[in-house]
Structures are given as structure tokens and as C-alpha cells.
Amino acid sequence: MMNYIVVFAGGGIGSVARYMLATWIGQRWGRSFPFGTFIVNVSGSFLIGLLMTLMAERFLENPEWRLLIVVGGLGGYTTFSTFEYETGKLMADGELIYAALNIILSVIAGFAALKLGEVIARSI
């Protein structure tokens, strides 16, 4: 049960951080291109790469820190970082076809799901 509370807390912090940063960037740079989301996604990808590598290869940490920071915090900040990490892991493991499929299918399926959601919402 404690693991769920830790992930929940991290997710709340990450979500608020995402909203604050994306809003601030949008106010500064405009909204014609989603710079806020772009920067959040890229920075989240950087952070998951940095933190997962440090936690897995350099430091033996309490597993609750990984749940709080990576699963909860970065999961709330951006799920894009998890996508990037998993794709990078596939590539590192020599699974180039699976990595390419993950990229192509995630983008196409994600966009299709977005459009389907829009269509359904507009038909209600």
C-alpha cells in the first residue's frame, strides 16, 4: 500500500511541475508551437535517462526513491520520458526493429487515438 502512496505523491508533484513549466513557457514564447509540451517531454526524457542510469548503475537506493522520483514524479511530469527510455533500452539490447516499431506505432496510434477521442467528444 505504501508504494501506491509514494507513486501518488510523486505523480502529483510531477503533474504540477509539468503544468507550471508548460504554462510559463507558453506565456513567454507563445502557443503557435507547443514549446511547453516539447520542452517538458524532452527534459523528462533527459531526466529519466539520467536518473534511471544513476539509480540502476551507480547508486543502490531505497526502491521507494525510484517509485517517488521516476515512476511517480516523471510519470506525472511526462509519460513521454518512459516511452523514450523503453525505446532506448530496446536499441541498447539490439532490438532495432522493435525500437523502430515502438516509435512508429506509438506516434501513429497515439495520434489516431487523439483524433478518435476528439471525434467521440464532438459527437456527444
Q: Which amino acid would we find at residue 50? A: L
Q: Is 75 annotated as a binding residue?
A: yes
28 and 87 Cβ atoms separated by less than 8 Å: no
Q: Is 78 annotated as a binding residue?
A: yes
CA torsion angle 41 47 53 56 (round to 10): -100
Look at the block and give the residue holding cell 513549466.
Answer: 21
Binding positions: 75, 78
Binding positions for Na(+): 75, 78
